[in-house]
Homo-oligomer: A and B are copies of this chain.
Amino acid sequence: MGACERLPIGVFDSGVGGLTVVREIRRHLPGLDILYFGDTARVPYGNKSPETILRYSLEIGAFLVGQGIGSLVVACNTSSATALGRLGEDFPVPILGMIEPGARMAVSKSRNGRIGIIGTRATVASGAYERAVKALDPGAFVTSAACPLFVPLVEEGWVDGPVTLEVVRRYLGPLLAQGVDTLILGCTHYPVLVPAIEQAAPGVHLVSSAHAAALDLRERLGPGTVPDGKPGDLRVFVTDTGTHFQAMGDLILGEPIPVLEKIEEERLVFHAK
């Protein structure tokens, strides 16, 4: 990615959840300019078919490449799991997904080689994390669970309390029963639930793919500079606006997000090479 480091980086997700990745990037590479794209009109991707997820991902990739980005971070695990290879074929910029960095960090952290993966229905069904972990450690035991209620809980702001803890327990129970000592949070929304997950799974290493991807990006780009002492610019494009997205964005990013710039869906067009 070295040659492109002066250009802004593009980051996209199905909604505002990918701002957890932006937050990590700004923490580890504060000087980078970032163009974020949240497909808020078509969120969530996690229950959709691979064909639909691929089409949406290609449309957004084409939009961001058209904005002059130097590299692209696919902050959506569902999209990373189903569309990353194809995005790499179609766009002339380096592309970083969530799966490989998360899998690498999990393999390095696990002591007993038993790794659990949680994500959306589509991410889990893709088997992408399992393949990535097995490629790094063929002897690893890997088990996974789809947690479709986690994203709605975060979006409702119910990040702790008895309901959330009970939902977390119900999803994680089968994984813990299989002795996993490391758990990959394979969805950008899930880091918001870490306190509840820690309570339900004490002593288990939690791997945030958002955090792992930001570290990976820093390794590829070199540490970011802070020109004139200023942090990099952040622009946020969305396909649908609403006060709810703005409020949720602030919560997830951990700082006030800029005014949302609405992109009409008609502008999202992908022409295969």
Contacts and interface: CB of A to CB of B under 8 A. Distances in A.
Contacts of A151: 152
Given A240-B49, A242-B47, A244-B121, A163 B152 contact: no
A137 interface: no
Nearest to A15: B47
Given A149-B153, A152-B149, A153-B149, A52 B240 contact: yes
Interface residues of A, number: 27
Interface string A135-179: 000000000000011011101101000110011001000000000
A41 interface: yes
A52 B47 contact: no
A220 interface: no
A111 interface: no
A267 to B, nearest CB: 14
A40 B45 CA distance: 11
A15 B240 CA distance: 18
A110 interface: no
A191 to B, nearest CB: 19
A86 interface: no
Given A47-B155, A149-B153, A163-B166, 6 more contacts: A42-B42, A47-B242, A49-B240, A148-B155, A149-B149, A152-B152
